[in-house]
Every structure is written in C-alpha cells, then in structure tokens.
Structure 1
Amino acid sequence: MDARPSAPERSRSRKSERDLKAERAAALARRQAAAVGAVDGIDHLVCACGTERYGIPLAAVAQVLPMRPSTPMPGAVPALLGLIALSGRIVGVLGLARTLGRPEPPDAELGAGHLVVLRAAQAQPVALAVDRVLGIAAAPGPSAAGATAEADPAGLGNAAASGYAPASARDGRPDFVVVDLPRLLRRVLP
C-alpha cells in the first residue's frame, strides 16, 4: 500500500501550512504591537541634586547605597569625588552635580546622600553620588513625542540629557531631566 498522500491531499496540506504560518505571523505582529502600546514609559530612578531632579534609567542601576567616605584621587577629573571599595572591587564615585556641570548645594553634608552604583557597562565600575534618591518614575521612551526636546537651556542641553519627563497629575510625581548615561560618562571618563 502506498503511504504517500494524493495530489489533492498534498495541495490541501500546503495550503494549511501557509495558512498556519500566516496566522502565526499575524499573531506575533499583534503581540508585538500590544506590547509596544502597553508600555507607559521607561522606568527611571529619580534622584535629587540640590533643587534639581534627574532620572537615571533603572536598567542601568545595580544598587543604591547610603553615602560613604571616598578616597580622593590627586589629578583626577573634577567630577571624580574619589574611590570606594565595594564587594572587593574599586569603584569610582562621580558627583552627579559636578558631572552635569551644575552647582553643588552649599549645605551638602559629608556622609549625607546616596550612591547609585551603575551596572558595569564600562571597564571601570562607577557610582554616582546624589543628594537623595526620591523613587522610581516612568518617562517617555526615546521615540515618544517630546523626548528629544531641549532638557535644560541653562547648561545641560542635549549633551548630557536625553529628554525631559514632565510631572504627571495621575501619579503625583515631580518632573525630572532624563540623564543619557553613555553620553554623560563619555564626557568625564577617559
């Protein structure tokens, strides 16, 4: 007995395979469109430096620690406050206000504030010193309208910031400048 399907059966089989593949492709496209539409924004860790608020992409943050003393490095870039030992590694501590070219608050207490340790995207581990961490808030993604607007006409411009996240009445969170970490770190690290 011949186990091969007849010509009409093969034609129906090919048609059903094509239909099945088309259905799968359409389902994947719908799923991707739904995922893109469902995203309200990119989560940012909102930090304060003086009276200004900055958002650091949450995906780039490894941990947040209380401020600790650092060892100064003679001849280092002005933004580098010093070095700390963290889990057996030497971590450079950059002052976020200094890195952005912003004035440091005159009443900043030594030991007050937080260290935002960044994920190791660069060769040298880095932490950002901030006055305080305020919380997590969503900001529009880079393709959203207004994300490329000028962030700070008084000095930041688009050189260290990728956008401005306006305050939202529904969650009560304040507005903040979205920091472009790769661009910021390129400015201060060799």
Structure 2
Amino acid sequence: MGAGPSAQGGRPRPERDLRAERAAALARRGAAAAATDSGVDHLVCACGGERYGVPLAAVAQVLPSRPATPMPGAVPALDGLVALSGRIVGVLSLARALGRPDPASDADAAAGHMIVLRGVHPQPLALAVDRVLGIARAPGAVAAAGAGAADPDRLGNEAASVYAPASGAAGDGRPDFVVIDLPRLLRRALP
C-alpha cells in the first residue's frame, strides 16, 4: 500500500508509519500514567483516632504486638525491649513519641501491631501502633513537600510532617493520613 492515488482528486497519499504512530501513542500513555502514579507508598496505621503513614521503604516487617520488657530510666516513648529473630529490638510507642495520649487499655495494646523499622537508626527499632490499616500512596508532590519541611501544615508536631490525601479515586475508601518524618520522630523521641 504505497503512495497511490487517493479517491479524492487523484493526488498521492503520503505513506503512514503505523508502528511509529502506535509507539508514540503508547509512550505518551505511559508518561501520563507515570505522572499520575508518582508518589510514595506508606504503611498506614491507626494511633488513637488518627491515621499516620510510615514510608514503606523504612518498614522491615509488621508483627502482632507482644509484651515488651520495660527499661528503667528509659525515655518516655520507649515501651521496652523485645527479642525478634535473635536480636534485641527497642519498641517505641508511636502515640507517646508524637505526644499523643496512650491507648485506652492494655487490651487495646495487646491487640495492636509492631512495625519493625529498617535503615532509620543504628539500633533495631519498632513502632507500637493500635493497628495497621494497609498501604496507601501519598501523591508525589505532597510527599516531596513533607520531606525536609518542619511542620509545613502547622500540625503542631515536627515529626508529623505533612497531611497526605491518599491517592485514588474520591470515595475509594482509602484513608487520608499524616506522613511521619521518621528521622525527626526518632531525634525527638530518642535524644
């Protein structure tokens, strides 16, 4: 199917490279999808009546809560120590580290979760939370705005860096959450 005469006026029709057009269209579609999908995944957890997001890259594992051995003279946010896979891990109460009230009862704490962290502190650490809700993506612009900015949304807490609407269609059931700046949280909780 070369450049033959067209049905309109007998002029030759230019040859179309359909493969190149399709490749260009797919590249545009991929770029648009990447632009809408940019963001940072967070493990969203409940602490009291609030939802907080811990960057998923800093999460090693999530476990059911277990009793921690208290440390005399420890910082107030430290619940104690637990043994995990042959290591001693410090367990921080996320509520106390953020200056929030403790869970209402010991039964609530026993039903909670521990988020074991990686790469955020020289010592192995875990965060004690009421429960883990799931994974949500904070839009890239929101996640970037929270990185390195001290309390940009005036949340009253430097460790709670920015409020992030979870990505997805409106009403899809994904909760909004406050992004936790782990380095700031740990500097504040473990002086």
Please give the range of the TM-score, normalised by the shorter of the 2 chains: 0.7 to 0.9
1:172 alignment partner AA: G
Q: Distance in 1 between matches of 2:84 and 2:113?
A: 14
1:80 alignment partner AA: L
Partner of 1:177: 178
Q: Distance in 2 between matches of 1:79 and 1:146?
A: 27
Partner of 2:136: 137
Which deviates further from its counterpart, 55-64 or 99-108?
99-108
Q: Distance in 1 between matches of 2:182 and 2:141?
A: 14
Provide structure 2 residue ranges, at least 5 long, that are not aligned to the other structure. 1-26
Tell me if the contact between 2:69 and 2:81 (Cα under 8 Å) persists in the aligned partners.
yes
Number of corresponding residues = 156
TM-score, length-scaled by structure 2: 0.73
Partner of 1:166: 165
* Secondary structure in structure 2 of the residue aligned to 1:186: helix
Residue 144 of structure 1: how far off its partner (Å): 6.2
Residue 121 of structure 1: how far off its partner (Å): 2.9
- Give the ranges of 4+ consecutive aligned residues of structure 1 lying more than 4 Å apart after TM superposition: 142-148
Partner of 1:73: 71
Partner of 2:52: 54
Q: Measured at CA, do residues 146 and 181 of structure 1 come closer, stay the same or move farther in structure 2, by a change above 3 Å?
A: closer
* Secondary structure in structure 2 of the residue aligned to 1:73: coil
Q: Distance in 2 between matches of 1:77 and 1:64?
A: 23
Q: Measured at CA, do residues 166 and 122 of structure 1 come closer, stay the same or move farther in structure 2, by a change above 3 Å?
A: same
Q: Measured at CA, do residues 183 and 57 of structure 1 come closer, stay the same or move farther in structure 2, by a change above 3 Å?
A: same
Partner of 1:121: 120
Q: Distance in 1 between matches of 2:125 and 2:144?
A: 31
Give RMSD over aligned pairs. Answer: 2.5
TM-score, length-scaled by structure 1: 0.73
Q: Distance in 2 between matches of 1:77 and 1:144?
A: 29
Tell me whether 1:150 sits opposite 2:149 in the alignment: no
Partner of 2:103: 105
Residue 162 of structure 1: how far off its partner (Å): 2.0
* Secondary structure in structure 2 of the residue aligned to 1:72: coil
Q: Distance in 2 between matches of 1:105 and 1:45?
A: 20
Query: Identical aligned pairs, as a percentage?
Result: 70
Tell me if the contact between 1:114 and 1:132 (Cα under 8 Å) persists in the aligned partners.
yes
Offset from partner CA, 1:42-72 (integer Å, 9 cap, x none): 1000000111100000000000000001100
Q: Measured at CA, do residues 172 and 146 of structure 1 come closer, stay the same or move farther in structure 2, by a change above 3 Å?
A: farther
* Secondary structure in structure 1 of the residue aligned to 2:110: coil
* Secondary structure in structure 2 of the residue aligned to 1:184: helix
Residue 142 of structure 1: how far off its partner (Å): 5.3
Tell me if the contact between 2:58 and 2:117 (Cα under 8 Å) persists in the aligned partners.
yes
